[in-house]
Chains A and B, each alone.
Chain A
Amino acid sequence: MFLLPGIVLSTAVIVVPLLMTVGISFTRWQGIGRPEWIGLDNYSRLLADANFWASFRNIGLVIVAMAVVPTLLGLVLASALYDHVGRAYGDRTASALRSGLYLPQIVPVAVTGIIWAWILHPDYGALNSILADLHLEILARNWLGDPRYALYSVMAVLIWVQLGYPVVMFMAGLQRIDPELYEAADLDGASWWQRFTRIAVPLIRPEVYVVLVTTTIAGLKIFGQIFVLTRGGPGNATLVPSYFAYRNFFERAAVGYGSAISTVLTVIIVLLTYVFLRVQARDERLGGW
């Protein structure tokens, strides 16, 4: 009885639309009139579409910027903040620095876009004007407008956005570690690097998994940052699957094709989550953490 509202609403808002999208992906449909059944045509067209491949290549780099780099940097930063700053200067200093790193996480996506589109603007942006002040005009670029640099600029923005999340998570995880372990390591004359690689990293493995899973999925789903920064351009230099689908839905009225893109993306996300959960479960069973 208590399950009823949840099941009914989820069915109406999630299951039915999901199945509809899968169904539409086998049709040609402009959003009005009758969808025309074309079987797997949309999917075979996808495989031959350069934009599709570009969007998946780009999403790979987006994941590097949203999951891999922040996790690695976050491990070092969290450990430095907890193990060094926290011990030598007190927890308040460490948590003040942590809050500073976390601030970009609470800035709404649209605002992130406004801030960076302006900072990276070729004519009146702050970055190029700082470079000019330093007499480094030679380094000034059309950061978001040049297909050679646009994706890297977007990646830099994404690292800026994401970094605070792993730092907060890892610092919380480090608090779980028995301080005696560190003291014993200190007595044995372990260096910072040894304490980091032998104690900290293995013990917060669960946090590392959670961060990697959630940020990888967020990376696969990325839409807002791309919409406000580059709209996938220039050309398809920063095109990602979700924006590619959006464009087909609402700009080109190619609903069937957009549905096929979304379906592929959804399958990838579900598979990846499954693999992650399996690996994590096996790791925990083996007592790996």
Chain B
Amino acid sequence: MAIAPATARRHPDDPPAGRRVDPARRRGGPARHVVLFGLVVGVLLVLAPILVIAMNAVKSPADYASNGPTALPESLHLQGIVDFWNRVDFGRKLLNSLVVSGSVAILGVGLAVLSAYALGIGRVRGRVWFLVFFLVANLVPQEMLVYPLYYLAKSVGLYDSLLAVIIIFTVIQGAFGTYLLSSVFARFPRELLDAAEVDGAGRWRVLWQVVVPASRPTLAVLVAFFFVWTWNEFFLPLVFLVSNDNQTVPVALGVLQGQRIMDATTTSASALLGIVPAVVFFLLFQRTLTRGVMSGAVK
């Protein structure tokens, strides 16, 4: 499930820089705090499940048994996390996820740049139809493709291999990237292209030395998105990566969850281990993403 967060929609105008507190609004009775109070309570309720998980992940099973899920932990007990890590060889799953997501992010953007260069700047004939093609490619639900892909992968010996998943997601994400980048490139300043051409640069040189460097912020946003989306993909990896050694983090967690063989503290530990990388990426990419939105780069 790939839902574009903030940048799916973009704004030509820069948003106003941080507004300062409006002094006129400072007046008014305590009533105005009611809304803030309500919102804070609401946000805490939204965060509560994650906080409860974090709390129980660092509880000893004995502590959990005697005090229940909602009590604060008596002491910081990290053994549950360590045990879970070793039991499922979590390092291996992290590595698999990194390899898949990293490759897809880079290759997918590369593929999208090539196609979008032809459609957005090269203006090939029938470009509208190509764009519709890539848009529909992105709309098709994965279960429409899964069985033939599974069958084909088996017949060429790519079943249960990271490579198959990398190829499939490179194409799926690349189709979305093509659709998006084509409109960015369509607005690429013609003078830059013409100047390069006058200097005698070929089409490859124009792409690598003019177009790509000038669109770097947009490409960075796409890399970040593709990485996170691929990281969270569940359905196709679940079907394709069946052996323990090839599972990605979401698949490993989802399968273990399905078996329902874990006690509550181990369950929490596993959930916490699944959340931490996602939050790390979010924080890492947040600046890139905000910058992308701000500069109106992703069009």
Where the two chains meet, the residues of A that have a C-beta atom closer than 8 Å to any C-beta of B are 1-3, 5-7, 9-10, 12-18, 20-21, 24, 31, 77, 80-81, 84-93, 97, 100-111, 113-119, 124-126, 129-130, 133, 160, 163-165, 168-169, 172-173, 175-176, 179, 206-207, 210, 214-215, 217-218, 220-224, 227-228, 231, 242, 245-246, 249-250, 255, 258-259, 262-263, 265-266, 269-270, 273
Contacts and interface: CB of A to CB of B under 8 A. Distances in A.
Given A97-B40, A130-B70, A218-B1, A87 B232 contact: no
Contacts of B251: 110
Going nearest first, the 6 A-B pairs with the smallest beta carbon separation are A6-B115, A175-B15, A17-B148, A110-B254, A111-B274, A2-B118
A9 B260 CA distance: 39
Given A80-B39, A88-B21, A221-B141, A110 B257 contact: yes
7 contacts: A21-B145, A88-B36, A91-B19, A104-B46, A172-B11, A214-B8, A223-B143
Contacts of B239: 250
B255 to A, nearest CB: 9
Nearest to B273: A111
Contacts of B2: 218
B175 A14 contact: yes
Given A108-B231, A172-B6, A129 B119 contact: no
Contact of A110 (B151, B174, B253): B253
A118 B256 CA distance: 13
Interface string B64-90: 000011100000000000000000000
Given A114-B271, A129-B69, A85 B264 contact: no
Nearest to A13: B171
Interface of B is mostly: helix
B16 A175 contact: yes
B142 A88 contact: no
A31 B254 contact: no
B218 interface: no
B261 interface: no
A89 B18 CA distance: 12
Given A6-B115, A10-B134, A223 B20 contact: no
Given A13-B168, A126-B69, A175-B11, 18 more contacts: A6-B174, A9-B111, A10-B133, A13-B149, A13-B171, A97-B39, A100-B43, A104-B46, A105-B5, A108-B232, A130-B70, A169-B8, A179-B16, A214-B3, A221-B142, A224-B235, A246-B146, A249-B146
A227 B257 CA distance: 10
A9 B70 contact: no
Contacts of B235: 223-224, 227, 242, 246
Contact of B174 (A2, A9, A81, A85): A9
B50 interface: yes
B35 A80 contact: yes
Given A85-B39, A110-B274, A172-B11, A13 B145 contact: yes
A259 B151 CA distance: 13
B187 interface: no
Contacts of A105: 3, 5
A1 B174 CA distance: 17
Contacts of B175: 6, 10, 14
Nearest to B278: A106
B47 to A, nearest CB: 6
Contacts of B148: 16-17, 20-21, 24
Contacts of A129: 68-70
Contacts of A249: 143, 146-147, 150
A249 B50 CA distance: 34
